Structure 1
Amino acid sequence: MMTNLFSIFDPSTQIMNISLNWISITLIFIMMPMIYWLTPSRSNIIFNLLTSTLKKEFSTLLGPTSFIGSTLMMLSLFLLILTNNSMGLFPYIFTATSHPMLTVTLALPLWTALMMYGWINHTIHMLAHLVPQGTPPLLTTFMVCIESISNLIRPLTLSVRLAANMIAGHLLMTLLGNQGPTSPDLLMPIILITQIALITLESAVAMIQAYVFAVLTTLYISETTYDNT
């Protein structure tokens, strides 16, 4: 029984002492058996078109100085987040990306690795990045503080942005869905149309948030990779 509104995001639901919430991460392997298709299906064609387009865009954002495999890593990150966001739209499936446990796990190690790589290999470039070009000398110390704080909160903003957007849409659908049994019959068509609109909006948000997370991480990588030559 739902004790409060936020209990729908509780990842501790257990059946026979086995937590089944996080199993939604692996459901994509069951729903996409592309190995059994003799010819590419429509979903396979769309998937290949999406991945090739994103690969070109990530390669452009990363630039020629990026390390080997960074484009594939960002593409895999995008597909992971998109899969979990989309699976959360199905009934009775826990949205893993709505929980900070997963979003922080994705954002914090990436940011830590990028900062270590940048400060170890391109220290001068990282120091110069703390003071934007054209900053007046009197504001240099202030800008260093601002840029340092903005760098430190990057993993927090990445994780909170993703989790908050996933939670907000699901809360709206939950609140509206709970009004159905107690609403007059005349309002049922309006509630149904609104629910369909919310599901359509959440489908777009699922893709947009995955894209935003991957693109922002790509931009952070491009800031730390610098060609000294």
Structure 2
Amino acid sequence: MMTNLFSIFDPSINSFLSLNWLSSMLGLLFIPIYYWITPNRYMFIWNQINLKLHNEFKTLIQPNGKNGSTYIFITLFMFILFNNFLGLFPYIFTSTSHLTLTLSFSLPLWLSFMIYGWLNNSQHMFMHLIPQGTPNILMPFMVLIETISNIIRPGTLAVRLTANMIAGHLLLTLLSNNGTSMPNYLISILILLQILLLILESAVAVIQSYVIAILSTLYSSEVN
């Protein structure tokens, strides 16, 4: 039962050739065509979303941030959003439910922030280890706590996204597996619950993409 349940997250379920990871690139198929034709309503809405995110991320990065750095986090948001939504379609592999993918962008981001911060703003990075107003006797403990919390940041980013994607998909799978054994009068209730859960998962896909982008922006603002 458990093997069948978790097989939806198995990246090598195909016997001939595993193409599941290519689902991460399916989002690119929806983008290029809109850059070569006359702007339409879809493109207008997309540009408004990008502008809104740019203004919000620019506020978080603060005036001393590098110009154009907001587009890194906008791209990260769009990439995660596409993959989260594609995972809601039947027979499409959910790549964001694997730590292999989530760690592959959270760890390099965090590492680049740390290298840049310690090389260019060492004094500023040391100041973050001891919050203002900390008593002298508590300073060693605060340095230890802040260091540990800083080290586990890429792991928390990756696990947060993975756990949220797995939880919703597992719940949908559990309910659908029990549908064959339910009486006919409960099937309509099950379908309604599945629709509501799918709406919830769509909201989670957007929220988790936004949370990852916002947290990455906040982490980058600490090294400036």
Whether contact under 8 Å (2:27, 2:79) holds in the other structure is no
| Counterpart residue identity of residue 172, structure 1 | L
- Paired with 2:185 and 2:91, the residues of 1 have a C-alpha distance of 28
The residue that corresponds to 1:86 in the other structure is 85
SS of residue in 2 equivalent to 1:103: helix
Whether contact under 8 Å (1:13, 1:20) holds in the other structure is no
The residue that corresponds to 2:9 in the other structure is 9
Larger mean CA deviation between 19-28 and 133-142 belongs to 19-28
| Counterpart residue identity of residue 72, structure 1 | Y
Q: Percent identity?
A: 54
Whether contact under 8 Å (2:168, 2:201) holds in the other structure is yes
| 1:168 to 2:171 alignment | no
- Paired with 1:13 and 1:70, the residues of 2 have a C-alpha distance of 38
| 1:46 to 2:45 alignment | yes
When residues 141 and 83 of structure 1 are mapped into structure 2, their CA distance, relative to the original with a 3 A threshold, is same
Note the C-alpha offset of 1:184.
Answer: 0.6
- Runs ≥4 in structure 1, deviation > 3 angstroms? 35-39
C-alpha distance after superposition, 1:134-193 (max 9, x if no partner): 111111111111100000000000000000000000000000111111111111111011
C-alpha distance after superposition, 1:81-117 (max 9, x if no partner): 0010011011100011001000000110111110011
Whether contact under 8 Å (1:61, 1:219) holds in the other structure is yes
Note the C-alpha offset of 1:35.
Answer: 4.5
Note the C-alpha offset of 1:37.
Answer: 4.8
- Paired with 1:29 and 1:147, the residues of 2 have a C-alpha distance of 39
- Paired with 2:75 and 2:110, the residues of 1 have a C-alpha distance of 16
The residue that corresponds to 2:151 in the other structure is 152
- Paired with 2:67 and 2:36, the residues of 1 have a C-alpha distance of 32
- Higher helix proportion, which one? 2
| 1:223 to 2:209 alignment | no
- Paired with 2:163 and 2:28, the residues of 1 have a C-alpha distance of 26
The residue that corresponds to 1:126 in the other structure is 125
- Paired with 1:137 and 1:147, the residues of 2 have a C-alpha distance of 15
SS of residue in 2 equivalent to 1:224: coil
Note the C-alpha offset of 1:29.
Answer: 2.8
| Counterpart residue identity of residue 203, structure 2 | A
Larger mean CA deviation between 29-38 and 123-132 belongs to 29-38
Note the C-alpha offset of 1:80.
Answer: 0.4
Q: How many residues are matched?
A: 223
| Counterpart residue identity of residue 130, structure 2 | V
Gaps of 5+ in 2: none
Gaps of 5+ in 1: none
C-alpha distance after superposition, 1:192-223 (max 9, x if no partner): 11000000000000000000000000000000
| Counterpart residue identity of residue 7, structure 1 | S
Root-mean-square deviation (Å): 1.6
C-alpha distance after superposition, 1:119-139 (max 9, x if no partner): 111111101110001111111
